[in-house]
Structure 1
Amino acid sequence: MSVSRRVVGLTLDNLEDLPGACRTCLFWELGPLADPQPMPPEEAKLAKESWLSATLLDWGSCGKVAYAAHEPVGYALFAPPGFVPRALSFPTSPVSGDAVLLLNAYVAPHWRSAGVGRMLAQAVAAELVPRGVKAVEAFGSTGPLSRGCLMPVDYLRSVGFKTVRPHPAYPRLRMELRSTVSWRYDVEYALERIFGTTVGSLTPAR
């Protein structure tokens, strides 16, 4: 059975559609010098809302949420490194001056290998290219599983990223946005998702 799909911007109205662990995670927002004791969940939620609100007001859209029918099945979060205190703590920092940082991308387990990750990557590109952003960069994890809020290097490469600063554990990768959306099909595919058009169908991975 197939279902419709769409991607919309992340706002305070749909922040609750993020997975619970992501909804209260402040790994990127607080930085390495923050209190090592985790915040209570409700306090963490408020801090996440505060960060999102400030970023939306000062910079603009900084996230996308993917839906299959009415179910949230994935999301991507991104921002300029100046909005991300954790960005300077990696051995492969800093992020290039012409790029934004992809903080995280998540796809629900039963929707993986069904194109949702690429759909999110294209939606992010379609959001950022008209705003003059040249590239998206990310700190990857080379381990068998992503560490904390880091994404596996294999996933990043699968959606168009290339390594720009190698490291045995935390390489920095980059996706040139104009090359990503240079083909007509990709442009149309991304724009359909970014404007929330319900088109096509998506079958859950078995």
Structure 2
Amino acid sequence: MSAVSTSVTALTLGGLDKLPGHARRCVFWEIDPAVAADSYSFSDPVFEKEAWLSTVLLEWGSCGQVALVDGQSAGCALYSPPSASPRAGLFPTSPVSPDAVLLTTLRAESPYQDADIAQQLIQAVVGDLMRRGVRAIEAFGIRKEPPSNSMADRALGSMRLMERISTPPRGTDGCTPDACMIEADFLEDVGFKVVAAHNRFPRLRLELDSDHLWKEDVERALDQLLAEAAMTQPNRVLCF
């Protein structure tokens, strides 16, 4: 049985076709839902998504990572300045901090959800943004809404806001918060911290402390070196 080949590479203008199907069609983050709902000309979400990606790539730089397994699309991560995402200003936990890049998409495709594709993607995002001197990544996570909170939201007058967040752009299929947002639990598992709490849409942040991460990498490499040395030379004492 041959080994599975997995790779994560930065998204390029020539590689937009490598995005998974849902990511190529989904414009949940890229199109203002109010504008899309009123525009009868909005009928090609793939074109709109590719136009948005092309603009961000040309004006800002790398904005995506794509995972491939044996050459097949297995997942992707997309990120950009918050100003490039109209929907980012609609959440009850908005706005994104001015020093942060917004992570909008982190998705592993079937049948790779149980693999470590999502972790590899977030590592690639962190590596790219650290090299570019970005201080932090933020994301709007999603939690399953407890039934008991639905009436409370209405009582607080946030019904219209929730509807606007959840309204899919015209002509799209499956662009909903549950399908297009990142689970808050996963973000917390990979090191994000809640900086603006909400029962449904918390905003989370990951600090990109290069000194701290560099020290962790060195310590991890040294531990591995010591473990390998102990296994290959069990009777030799290592002195540093």
TM-score, with normalisation over the residues of structure 2?
Answer: 0.71
Residue 208 (structure 2) pairs with residue 184 (structure 1): no
Greater shift in the superposed pair: 143-152 or 81-90: 143-152
**C-alpha separation between the residues in 2 aligned to 1:55 and 1:9?**
13
CA contact (8 A) 1:117 1:159 kept: no
What is residue 97 of structure 1 aligned with on the other side?
Answer: 98
Q: Secondary structure at the match of 2:29?
A: helix
Residue 49 (structure 2) pairs with residue 48 (structure 1): yes
Residue 192 (structure 2) pairs with residue 161 (structure 1): yes
Count of residues paired in the alignment: 186
Once the 2 structures are TM-superposed, how far is the Cα of residue 177 of structure 1 from its aligned partner? 2.0
Structure (1 or 2) with the larger CA radius of gyration: 2
What is residue 13 of structure 1 aligned with on the other side?
Answer: 14
What is residue 69 of structure 1 aligned with on the other side?
Answer: 70
What is residue 198 of structure 1 aligned with on the other side?
Answer: none
TM-score, with normalisation over the residues of structure 1?
Answer: 0.81
Change (3 A) 1:165 1:181: same
**C-alpha separation between the residues in 2 aligned to 1:64 and 1:23?**
13
What is residue 201 of structure 1 aligned with on the other side?
Answer: none
User: Mind listing any 5+ residue stretches in structure 1 that lack a counterpart?
Assistant: 189-206
Question: Which is richer in helix?
Answer: 2
- Amino-acid identity (%): 44
Once the 2 structures are TM-superposed, how far is the Cα of residue 31 of structure 1 from its aligned partner? 1.8
Change (3 A) 1:107 1:186: farther
Q: Quick one: which amino acid aligns to residue 6 of structure 1? A: S
Q: Secondary structure at the match of 1:118?
A: helix
Q: Secondary structure at the match of 2:79?
A: strand
Once the 2 structures are TM-superposed, how far is the Cα of residue 171 of structure 1 from its aligned partner? 0.2
Greater shift in the superposed pair: 91-100 or 174-183: 174-183
Q: Quick one: which amino acid aligns to residue 14 of structure 2? A: D
Question: Which is richer in strand?
Answer: 1
Q: Secondary structure at the match of 2:87?
A: helix
Greater shift in the superposed pair: 174-183 or 57-66: 174-183
What is residue 110 of structure 2 aligned with on the other side?
Answer: 109
**C-alpha separation between the residues in 2 aligned to 1:106 and 1:66?**
10
Change (3 A) 1:70 1:82: same
